[in-house]
Amino acid sequence: MRTIDKDTFLRSFKVLSNQSFDLFLGSGASVSSGIPTGNELIFHFKREILSSKGIINGKKFQDLKIEFNKKIIQSYF
């Protein structure tokens, strides 16, 4: 198994845009054990992308449980 840092992971999607990725979670992975839902991950990735491009201040939109934060983030997509 290969481990990469967050920046490399986020930027790899642009570099390898014609390839697909699979994220595999083993048995027992669930929200109750602290694993984020797919929707939570999507908003996390969107926030990181916008923040890395300087479009938003990621710290200002840190709490993705606030619907207003998600609405603002989504408005860029």
Number of other residues whose CB lies within 10 A of the CB of residue 14: 8
How far is Cα 76 from Cα 33, in angstroms, rounded to an integer?
Answer: 31
54: in domain: yes
pLDDT at 5 over 70: yes
Residues of the domain holding 66: 36-76
In the predicted structure, residue 2 carries a pLDDT above the cut 90: no
H or E element: which one contains 10? helix 6-15
Count of structural domains within the chain = 1
Q: Is residue 6 part of a domain?
A: no
pLDDT at 6: 83
Q: Is residue 5 part of a domain?
A: no
**Position 27 in a domain:** no
6-46 pLDDT per residue, tens: 888 777 766 656 777 676 666 566 777 777 888 889 999 99
